[in-house]
Each structure stands twice: as structure tokens, then as C-alpha cells.
Structure 1
Amino acid sequence: MMLYEAAALGAATCWALTGLISAGPSAALGALAFNRLRMSLVFIVLALYVATVTGLDALPRDIALPLALSGLIGIFLGDTALFLTLNRLGPRRTAMVFSLNAPISAILGFVFLRETLTPLQIAGILVTFAGVILAIRFGKRKSQLHQWENVKGPLWIGIAIGLIAALSQSAGSLIARPVMETGTDPIAASAIRVGTAALCLWLLFLVPHRQFKPAGPVTLKLAGIVGLSGFLGMGVGMTLLLFALSGGEVGVVATLSATTPAILLPLIWWRTKEMPAPGAWVGAGLVLVGSALLFAV
């Protein structure tokens, strides 16, 4: 396997591990508090890198606003909705619903950027949606008792929040795309996006309502796990993806980086000692096939 393709698979594996690592801390702190701590830690690392390596002049001032808007929608709204979904649906279902960001991105590109949807891409959208529906509807056996397979609250609410997460992530990427096509330094751009999200999350913390406060105490161990989650997902994972895109074919890299739901299943099996249901495997496989069709050239 080529190095760039291996990097794309590595990114997908990092994101799968992030889902497992984040499940406990997100439930313990609440989605808002978990994401606030996670974004703050990631921003500190990114800001230090920009200040010491790339320099503050790496970003022209005229692109700061679209990047901030991208961070507001894609990370502040998207990531917060993602961890709300994680708390309600568990890692497996959350990964399946969030995988819809690929077809949603294709649809948004068609609507707002006048990008053409080929018959193969339309088929990919339909196959991906079918895979997600199958995995959610038939992805659990009655014998599976682990808490990650339990749904907290109505299922449709969890799915709706997950769709908001996928839509926000896609919209944030759509806003950032023209800026990144100019050759903007990706780490400096990420610093603005993550910093905007962290600022918004801290502003919410100032609201005098218990919903915006941590659900539990932030211990040193918990903070370490949150930091590991941010490091794996936004540090290693995104770096591997950018490296893969720097030399690999975009369609192949995008497809391989979308294998997270499939990679997550054996990890969940190992972690819970419960084999996922056949519907979960078939659904994840359909998502992979749909992604391949979406990015087929």
C-alpha cells in the first residue's frame, strides 16, 4: 500500500479511536463542557505552533473572517452537536450518522457552488443513506447489553442532532474551501477555526444556566483523556489526512478516510466483548461503497 493511502487509513483509525476515547469523558462532563475543554487544549497547541513556527503573518487579515465563520459553524456547532449525539446514541450510531457529511457535502456543493453531480455520485449518496438507515435500524442484537448500544432519549432526536453535526461540518468545510485553495497554511487556518469555536464555548459558559456548566468535576485524569482525544482527532488525524491529500489521489484518499464506521466496529467488539450485529457490518460496508462512488473520478 502506498504511503499516502496508508496515511488516509491512519486518519480514519484516529477518528475511530477518538470516538471510543471520547464516549466516557463526554458523558461525564456533558457535551458542551467536554468540547470546551477539548477545543481550548487544541487551540493552545495550535497557537503555540503558529507563534513559534509559521509566524502570525502566515494568514492575511482578509481571510480571517471566513475562517472564523467556518469555525463557528463547522466546529462550534458541528463538534458540539457531534458530542451531544455521542452521549445519546453511542460511538457506533454516531459514527454512522456523522458519515453522512460526505453526501451532504456533495449536495451542498451542487446547490451552492454549482458543482455537477454525476450518476455515480447520486448513486453514492443513495447507497450511503441506505447504509446508515440499515445500520441504525438493524445494527443491534437483543443480546448486546453494553451501554454504548443503549439509546438515551428518543432515537429520532439523537439522529436529528447527528444530522445537524454532519450538516454543520459540511457547511464549515464549504466556507473554508475557497480560502484553503489559495494555499493558506492549514495549521494557521485551523488555529483560527478552533480558536473561534473555543471562544464561543467559553461565552456559553458565562450564561448562568446549569445546562452550560460541567456535569461533573474536571479531574486531572479526565483532562488528560480529553487532551488525548483532541490530539488524536484534530492533531494526528487531521495531519495524516492533509499529508495524504498532499500526494495521493483525492478520490482514493477521501474514500479511505471515510472508513471510520467500518474500522470502529472491530474496535467496539474488542472494547465491549460483544460482536456487532450483521446489520452494523452491512451498513458500514454500504457507507464505504457509497463513499467510493461519491469520490469516483
Structure 2
Amino acid sequence: MLGQLFALLTAFCWAQNSVFYSIAGKRISSQSVTHIRLWIALPAILIVHFIFQGSFYPSITWTFPMVLLAASGFIGFFVADILIFYSFVAIGPGRTLLIMTLSPILSAVLSFFFLGESLRILQSAGMLVTLAGILIVIYHENKIEKIDSHILKGIIIAVLGSVAQAAAMVLSKAGLSEGMHPISANVVRITFGFAGLVIYTIVRGEFINDFKKMRDLKALTLISIAALIGPVLGIILTLYALQLAPVGIVTTLTQISPIILLPIEAIFLKRRITFWILTGTLVAVAGAVILFMC
């Protein structure tokens, strides 16, 4: 149950992130947000590591699990995020999140084949019920009336982002097999994601320009808060969850953030709660309850 709790807390982190990153992305650009947030997250996680582990950087022995952990950071923080943020712009956050519900199913399949990790019938049922609830909410709010070439490209990239996210989760689980502390593991993951993003930004010719955009203090503040709660706290919680629960369950519960956002949007943004939103929310909550009972 503790693993499920950590995964659910991660979903709260992602819910906050989606709001802050969306606002910041509209003020500057999604790729600038993706880049700059790791300049904030890396020093922060190094300080956290020093406080809890007594050193700024973990002692690393390059075993195969460590290589997998580094690969998970590169794929998760760099490849997946670039694809997902592109999809946010191309087809919108809601439609992207709809497609991203593929990620838990993909991660469960990948963990079965590569980690030998199988789910019990009740766990599989809870996962499918939760995903059904999320799908009901997002689908009825984000129907695609017409698919042109631009929309199709966004859908394909969102699917690739979902695959990358699932792969990163499975690689993280495999990388933790030697018992590395989740905080140390997150340092390694952020380091390699950071390296990928820096190289990519230099190749794009936007390295200096991204920092110039940080003159927008509101955007910088939002990115800073989101970086601390997302890549730092959120990923640490995810890694703890992966140590204690199957990959499929962890990925499912971390995808519940659209449901968590509903009461916030209803109260502060006056979002209208429709029949389908209420139905999907109740179904997703029921699925989460089943997962906590497993």
C-alpha cells in the first residue's frame, strides 16, 4: 500500500506541474520550459542529496543496472518530455493526456516481458477501471472533430511520448534492482536528462535565448516551483513507489492527475462539472481504491 501512496502523491505533483508549466509555456515556450527547469532541478536535487546522503553526488559504479538508470533519465527527462511538450502545443494538453493513458498499459506489458513482473487479476482490474475513468473525463472534454496532417503528427508524437515514458519507468525499476537509494537514483537520472537537453538546446541554437526569456519573472517563478515539486520531489516519490509496487500500478496512479485537477478547476476556474466528468471521476476513484486494496 505504501508504494501506491507514493504513486498517488506523485500524481498530485504532476497535477501542480501541468498548471504551472502550461502558464509558463504560454509566456515563453514549452521547449524553453523543458530546458530551464532542469537547470533549477539539478542543483536542488544535489542539495537534497547532500542533506540526506552526506555528499553532493552519489558514488557510482558503472554496473548494468546503473547504465539502465542513466538511460531512464535520458529517455524520461529528455526524449519523453520533448515529445510530450510538442504534443501539448500540437493537439492540446487534454488530448495529449488522453493518449498518454496508453503509458500504464505499455509499462505493464514491458515490465512483464523484461522484468518478469506480472499483475494479479484484482490489480489488473483496478488498473483498467482507473484508466477507464480517466479516459471518460478526458475524451468527453477533448474530442477531435477533424484529423488533418498537423493533428495526425501531434497524435503520433504523443503516442511515441507515451512509449518513451513507459520505457523510462521500466528502466528505472530495473536500475533500482541493486538497491540504490531513490534520491541518489534521481540525481543520476536528472544528470543524464539534463545533458541531453543541454546538447539539444545548443544544436537548436536556442541555448542563450532560453536564458534571456527568464527575464520574465513570473515564468521563472512558476518554472522554479514546478521544478522543485516535479523533477525533484515527484520523481523521488515515483522511485520510492517503483521499489514497492509493480510498474503498471505505479504508472496508472501517477496518471490520475487530470482527476485531481477537477476540484481545483471547478473552484478556482469555475469549470462546469458535467455528467461525464462526474462519472469518469467516480470510476477513476473506484479503480484507485481497488489498487490500494491490492
**TM over 0.5, shorter chain:** yes
Moved more, 88-97 or 259-268: 88-97
CA shift at 1:159, angstroms?
A: 3.8
Q: Deviations over 1:194-249 (max 9, x none)?
A: 11111111111222557996498222332221111111112333445566778899
CA distance in 1, matches of 2:155, 2:131: 13
The 1:293–1:4 alpha-carbon spacing in structure 2 relative to 1, beyond 3 Å, is: closer
Task: Count matched residues.
Answer: 287
8 A Cα contact 2:169 2:247, kept in partner: no
CA shift at 1:55, angstroms?
A: 5.4
CA distance in 1, matches of 2:79, 2:19: 21
Moved more, 86-95 or 176-185: 86-95
Q: Deviations over 1:161-220 (max 9, x none)?
A: 333223212101211212212210211211111111111111112225579964982223
Correspondence for 1:139: 141
CA distance in 2, matches of 1:152, 1:261: 26
Correspondence for 1:202: 198
The 1:68–1:254 alpha-carbon spacing in structure 2 relative to 1, beyond 3 Å, is: closer
The one-letter amino acid paired with 1:59 is I
The 1:176–1:238 alpha-carbon spacing in structure 2 relative to 1, beyond 3 Å, is: closer
8 A Cα contact 1:140 1:276, kept in partner: no
Whether 1:18 aligns to 2:17 is yes
Whether 1:280 aligns to 2:281 is no
CA distance in 2, matches of 1:171, 1:263: 25
CA distance in 1, matches of 2:267, 2:243: 33
Q: Secondary structure at the match of 2:213?
A: coil
Moved more, 7-16 or 115-124: 115-124
Q: Secondary structure at the match of 2:271?
A: coil
- Over the aligned positions, Cα root-mean-square deviation in angstroms equals 4.0
Q: Secondary structure at the match of 1:184?
A: coil
Q: Secondary structure at the match of 2:118?
A: coil
CA distance in 2, matches of 1:268, 1:119: 34
The one-letter amino acid paired with 2:62 is R
Alignment of 1:1-297 (within 5 A): 9-50=8-49, 53-54=54-55, 56-62=57-63, 63-120=65-122, 123=125, 127=129, 130-139=132-141, 154-208=150-204, 214=210, 217-219=213-215, 220-240=217-237, 257-290=254-287, 297=294
Q: Secondary structure at the match of 1:115?
A: coil
Moved more, 114-123 or 16-25: 114-123
Q: Secondary structure at the match of 1:14?
A: helix
Q: What stretches of structure 2 of length at least 5 have no aligned partner?
A: none
8 A Cα contact 2:77 2:193, kept in partner: yes
CA distance in 1, matches of 2:172, 2:243: 17
8 A Cα contact 1:139 1:278, kept in partner: no
Q: What stretches of structure 1 of length at least 5 have no aligned partner?
A: 142-150
CA distance in 2, matches of 1:259, 1:76: 22
CA shift at 1:80, angstroms?
A: 2.2
CA distance in 2, matches of 1:25, 1:169: 22
Q: Secondary structure at the match of 2:203?
A: coil
CA distance in 2, matches of 1:66, 1:34: 26
CA shift at 1:114, angstroms?
A: 3.9
The one-letter amino acid paired with 1:79 is D
The 1:11–1:71 alpha-carbon spacing in structure 2 relative to 1, beyond 3 Å, is: closer
8 A Cα contact 2:97 2:138, kept in partner: no
CA distance in 1, matches of 2:268, 2:152: 26
